[in-house]
Structure 1
């Protein structure tokens, strides 16, 4: 296997060859793939092919096509990198990052790259890159419980359903994504909400060790004691510090539990808002209860229905804490006792891949009045979208009570900027799916109108919170700025310390950078 140190001569040779194919530097270019890259001036792809033979693919090859096809949204699938690095080991990642860092210094602008795990962030360029290099971590999909089952090490290339299917068999769980097709890497680095958040906090609050490749190609293990500043920065800091190749999370016993969906007619919305406020604001919040309260627009009838995803992480049906929701008139019901894998696959099925997608998010003080205002604004702004072919439009309200936001303090802290002092909050997620790019601008315009009007109302009535959940943010939002000035300053200091060349700020344009 090629070592990181051995790559530099290869890269230099390729760089010389790119300038003048008649020089001595052209001698190493014996592979057909490298020659192809050079003929189009794609020097870093050529160097990567030499350093990682058999793991670099270009347009129209099976690995390249498969990698693009595995993105969730059509926008990301439509982005075409010059080549894809299909890493299978941490050393592959280290070599690739080293080549790209050095290449970026020698050939500015020619070695920009993206890193993807699950590829579920919908906007173009989030975890893919046009005319650059995409490092695909899908094959880093290990799931390794510790001998005493107190922790589990997972690779970033896993989808959460893959992780849970292995842990269900062992009777344990970790805090992780609620949608089975979502990848481990992005969700965890963006903070992450789980069915277990009222008991254990954000997903990132449970990570005890990160294996990360820095811009230099060095691989380090980051813990609360080894690199404490970087450890905190990675808890919400997204892709700004390196490439995480493994996450070790605390684990806990977990058997089957109660969950599913209950559908209600739109006429129950006011009762839903009231029930949500009481659920989220209860001084006796049941830590086993989680809720996603969604309002789905039906364009054919210009009407709404409601779908509540209720999960109670005990083997108990219809617990009293959900009474205000379960007592409302129902139009469908999938509630059952099952396992974690099953429930995350159910959520995956609610919004399949292969479509154009938009996420937009906001955070507000827990209030039925605020929820009602958001709904009314949405009902107005969605009218312009009724003619859009294949339009799917939903609002999802999710509790962020102090029982969740207070957990970080006892677990070493995170970078999200939320504390119990923020009070009980709720997260709003707008999800829009459609078929044709001809409607992209219209959908963006109407989504911005919704959130601009909601922000104006929230600020005027004391409901506004600057936090934006990064994993739901639109490309025109600034979630990291929403962590607050102190957190941003800390993240920037950590970035300068561990990435002095600012590779992950300048050469990795995807996602949300520290000035966003």
Structure 2
């Protein structure tokens, strides 16, 4: 167990980082430790926050801390921008939190076909820089999200139907290993590590930068359409038709039912990434009535513009989290899910500041096929498994006294979803890591073959298991026999 007063740890950190160490009780420590996406992360108090800004500093940190981590004296957390909401995902009680937000840089190659991105960036800063050159990448849909955790979890982008998961556009990772060495991982060098990092989370090292393929950034047509609550059944039918039958690979949708401040609404966020206005592929959503017209935002804009729009729908520091399962499309099952969601809502909507959404995000066959063509990733979802829906449950509230009942209610709801889908043979093993709940065994959902490869990669690059034993946050590789 970590000791908040361990002078050896303090000495080691001071030697490596000098002034870039924040200690409890200081104004800067409180500010930085209070800047996570969720209140649950803000409430954890590490003994030290360290802020390296160079690869050499990260190497020196790992070499210096390694014996203390392997002995159990010290535990580590690795923070990008800290958007994974559950407690301990990127922060560690009485341990050392390595804050990587100082790793800046959005650097194009000479021919502008590839961009190197520092892990301290957000998608807003990446898109803003690339748009100066008429370019973009298949990154996050919400601009304010950090780049590192998003990519290591796989990520969905507006361009995913044509390009696969966001991680499939990564052609190279730079990562500091448990030994303190720097590994460059791509299709030709450390290829097993390259594949493992595409969805393998923080299990293999500390990511410092990565390179992605760029492409021309043209106009996009899309936005958010709001509907009256009684349109849900028709929206669901249209979404199932879309995910099963639509062939236009320049489309992307997210559908949800939501509650907030005493009101319900149904939404479809939709995009045509080649900028075609109201294309046939999206008319099943644009023509659906009755709409709440004054709230709609359909328009022509840029990748940056749309990602900035979605950034406005979330705030830092609230009591909030996500839970998710993946299913095969089925109207009657999802109608039942919606009814169960409504029943759960009725039991907890009196919580202060309560907002609650039930969303479904398509994984089309084209997305899975294009992911496989790009070289594959740790998720190892066969295109023949598609199409699929990622189901997302998202509660938000303000008071800690409501924690237990909301966690219990949502826990039960997701358990019911899982059981109902399983009974009908419609539950898929995969859980989307970027929306996963802390109790889920994410990596096990990648399937036995992928898990076996990931274990081999871990043994090769981290033979003593430093990142398995000493970095408790995130989702670890399953232990043998599970």
Taking structure 1 as the reference length, the TM-score comes to 0.89
1:419 is matched with which residue: 373, 382, 394?
382
Instruction: Give runs of aligned pairs for residues 19-418 of structure 1, distance below 5 A.
Output: 40-105=5-70, 108-282=71-245, 284-298=246-260, 300=262, 304-328=264-288, 329-331=290-292, 332-418=295-381
In the alignment, the residues of structure 2 paired with residue 110 and residue 65 of structure 1 have an alpha-carbon distance, to the nearest angstrom, of: 24
Is 1:212–1:244's contact at 8 Å kept on the other side of the alignment? Answer: yes
Q: CA deviation at 1:299?
A: 5.8
Q: CA deviation at 1:62?
A: 4.2
Is 2:321–2:396's contact at 8 Å kept on the other side of the alignment? Answer: yes
Determine whether 1:448 maps to 2:411: yes
In the alignment, the residues of structure 2 paired with residue 321 and residue 408 of structure 1 have an alpha-carbon distance, to the nearest angstrom, of: 21
In the alignment, the residues of structure 1 paired with residue 459 and residue 197 of structure 2 have an alpha-carbon distance, to the nearest angstrom, of: 14
Is 2:35–2:317's contact at 8 Å kept on the other side of the alignment? Answer: no
Partner of 1:295, secondary structure, is: strand
Q: CA deviation at 1:91?
A: 1.1
In the alignment, the residues of structure 2 paired with residue 38 and residue 297 of structure 1 have an alpha-carbon distance, to the nearest angstrom, of: 43
Map Cα deviations across residues 276-300 of structure 1 (whole Å, 9 max, x no partner): 0111111x42111101101102463
Is 1:260–1:333's contact at 8 Å kept on the other side of the alignment? Answer: yes
Map Cα deviations across residues 41-94 of structure 1 (whole Å, 9 max, x no partner): 242132111121111121133442332132111111111111111111111111
Q: Which runs of 4+ in 1 moved over 6 A?
A: none
How many residues of Structure 1 are paired with residues of Structure 2 in the alignment?
Answer: 475
Map Cα deviations across residues 448-469 of structure 1 (whole Å, 9 max, x no partner): 2111111222122221101000
Unaligned runs of 5+ in 1: 1-36
Q: CA deviation at 1:39?
A: 9.7
Map Cα deviations across residues 367-421 of structure 1 (whole Å, 9 max, x no partner): 2222211101111122110221111100111010111111232222211021111
Question: Cα RMSD (Å) of the superposition?
Answer: 1.6
Is 2:168–2:377's contact at 8 Å kept on the other side of the alignment? Answer: yes
In the alignment, the residues of structure 2 paired with residue 298 and residue 219 of structure 1 have an alpha-carbon distance, to the nearest angstrom, of: 47
Q: CA deviation at 1:183?
A: 0.8
Taking structure 2 as the reference length, the TM-score comes to 0.96
Unaligned runs of 5+ in 2: none
Is 2:261–2:353's contact at 8 Å kept on the other side of the alignment? Answer: no
When Rg is computed on C-alpha atoms for both structures, the one with the higher figure is 1
In the alignment, the residues of structure 1 paired with residue 203 and residue 331 of structure 2 have an alpha-carbon distance, to the nearest angstrom, of: 36
In the alignment, the residues of structure 2 paired with residue 381 and residue 256 of structure 1 have an alpha-carbon distance, to the nearest angstrom, of: 40
Partner of 2:304, secondary structure, is: helix
**Pair 39,119 (structure 1): closer, same or farther in 2 beyond 3 Å:** closer
Q: CA deviation at 1:312?
A: 1.2
Is 1:292–1:397's contact at 8 Å kept on the other side of the alignment? Answer: yes
1:488 is aligned to 451
Q: CA deviation at 1:102?
A: 2.4
Is 2:455–2:477's contact at 8 Å kept on the other side of the alignment? Answer: yes
